[in-house]
Structure 1
Amino acid sequence: MTIPVNVIGRVPVLAVPSGSAPNGVPTGVQIVGRTYDDATLFTLGAALEQALSLWTADAWWPNI
């Protein structure tokens, strides 16, 4: 998490994968929520992951 969020302290923060840079490095989005409103943050994060189609079993786990 970024320094300003660490200093504030009492807010929920969620890091969500957002894709890849042109050089292949993974990128992410940091979402900061209202104090003690973790549920909304998780809902937003899940919706973002689904919309970007990045967090799927096929993308992250190899077939064995």
Structure 2
Amino acid sequence: METRTLGSQGLTVSSLGLGCMGMSEFYGATDDAESVRTLERALELGMTFWDTADAYGP
């Protein structure tokens, strides 16, 4: 997994990020076990940038 430096403090994160808003109840019922599997797989692939914002867009 490629990485990028985020900000000026030297924090290194994966160049790909995972949008996690769909794991909340914003879109309706969720499957917690599926969310955990998704997060675990993202970690296995080296993904360290997870967007947990409660809204996207301008």
**Is the pair's TM-score, using the shorter chain for normalization, greater than 0.5?**
no
Q: Which has the higher contact order (CA 8 A, sep 6+)?
A: 2
**TM-score for the superposition, normalised by structure 2:** 0.39
Larger % of helix: which?
Answer: 1
**TM-score for the superposition, normalised by structure 1:** 0.36
